[in-house]
Amino acid sequence: MVDKALGGAGLRGQVAGETALCTVGKSGSGLTYCGYDISELADKVEFEEVSYLLSRGELPNQSQLDEYKAKLKTLRGLPAALKSVLESIPKSAHPMDVMRTGCSMLGNLEMETDFNDANDHIDRMVAVFPSIICYWYRFSHDGVRIDVETNDDSIGAHFLHLLHDKAPSELFAKVMNVSLILYAEHEFNASTFTARVCASTLSDVHSCVTGAIGSLRGPLHGGANEAAMEMIENFTSADQAEEALMGMLERKEKIMGFGHAIYRESDPRNVIIKKWSELLAKEVGDDVLYPVSVRCEEVMWREKKLFCNADFFHASAYHFMGIPTALFTPIFVMSRVTGWTAHVKEQRANNRIIRPSADYTGPEAREVPPISAR
């Protein structure tokens, strides 16, 4: 029987394996990567250092970081066959489907054969994902074939440069850096679990990540930042947001960007991205979206004791940086690929195929009637 006391459906609260990569809702502020608290990481390091930590197990020293970043820069280019696939995907496609196809195509062109050392493939995905999404976006929307091999110092700056055709401000590059750190890893969430299940069959790393992208796409998971944006952009003032939200709650609608499967009182990533969203609002002269977002947060806590998760203030932060809403979740992919692939390696290192059981709720055993009698 599904154990209701343990959270019942959704496997809530049930331990499904071990990890040395991350704790959620346990120590410090509530989120740690390899023992480091998320608030310290977001404050003190670059996303590339977190990516190195997850793929190599320790933070890099300066020369290791320099070497790693130099390597990632050389891996930004797109093979001609991948460009051709991206050019054939229509403008109307969902950008997460573009990411899924791009990752899958990469696996065809650069197949993983040696499963003992996945890091070259992982580094390649970390470096090339911004190129994949921006190449398709700019080709399908602006009709241009962009050069994806920029010399930008960071992955976040590379992404914004490709998207906007100009190098970003220091502030925008910094916020992207923080955002990518916040989204990098989160224990056995739905997309990571997808990647681990796939890895447990001894499949290749591109298949694991392609499957994970599919799981992340849904609005109950990564898609929540886009859904939150679609909601808040309809509100013209904080008062109007409150009125509309009260109506939504009365109609028992789900409010995207709020609540969490593990955290009970707050999401430690929210306080960090909220601070940056406020700074960006000042920078771009916003006096609607940020106050609207703050009022939503107040109303949801007052009415439902529901708090903002990582996605809610990401919506306004990304918007202030001129990022189209449809590209919000692909940014999540650009970051979470580091966590997914770390889990793939961890699963492979101590593998047994993941194969749970189900309680049967169907009909009693019966005979197949002849087709004329059905």
Ligand X SMILES: CC(C)(COP(=O)(O)OP(=O)(O)OC[C@H]1O[C@@H](n2cnc3c(N)ncnc32)[C@H](O)[C@@H]1OP(=O)(O)O)[C@@H](O)C(=O)NCCC(=O)NCCS
> Is residue 89 within 8 Å of residue 99, measured between CB atoms?
no
Any idea which residues carry the catalytic annotation? 221, 260, 311
How many residues bind to ligand X according to rule CB under 6 A? 15
Query: Which stretch in 56-64, 99-107, 142-150, 249-257 sits in contact with ligand X by CB under 6 A?
Result: 249-257
Among 259, 268, 330, 339, binds ligand X (CB under 6 A): 259
Is 254 a binding residue for ligand X by CB under 6 A? The answer is yes
Residues 206-245 contacting ligand X, CB under 6 A: 220-221, 224
- CA–CA dist 344, 68 (Å, integer): 20
Among 131, 194, 215, 309, binds ligand X (CB under 6 A): 309
Is 311 a binding residue for ligand X by CB under 6 A? The answer is yes
CA dihedral (194, 196, 197, 199) in degrees, to 10, reads 120
Structure-block tokens of residue 123: 């580094």
Is 184 a binding residue for ligand X by CB under 6 A? The answer is no
Q: Comparing C-alpha atoms, which of 215, 300, 313 is closest to residue 259?
A: 300
Report phi then psi at 77, rounded to 5: -75, 155
CB of 306: closest distance to ligand X in angstroms? 5
Query: Which stretch in 76-84, 105-113, 124-132, 258-266 sits in contact with ligand X by CB under 6 A?
Result: 258-266
Report phi then psi at 23, rounded to 5: -120, 140
- CA–CA dist 174, 280 (Å, integer): 11
CB of 122: closest distance to ligand X in angstroms? 24
> Is residue 118 within 8 Å of residue 112, measured between CB atoms?
yes
Q: What is the DSSP string of 43-68?
A: HH--HHHHHHHHHHSS---HHHHHHH
CB of 181: closest distance to ligand X in angstroms? 16
Quick one: 148 or 308, whose CB is closer to ligand X?
Answer: 308
Residues at the site binding ligand X, with contacts judged by CB under 6 A:
220-221, 224, 254-261, 306, 309-311
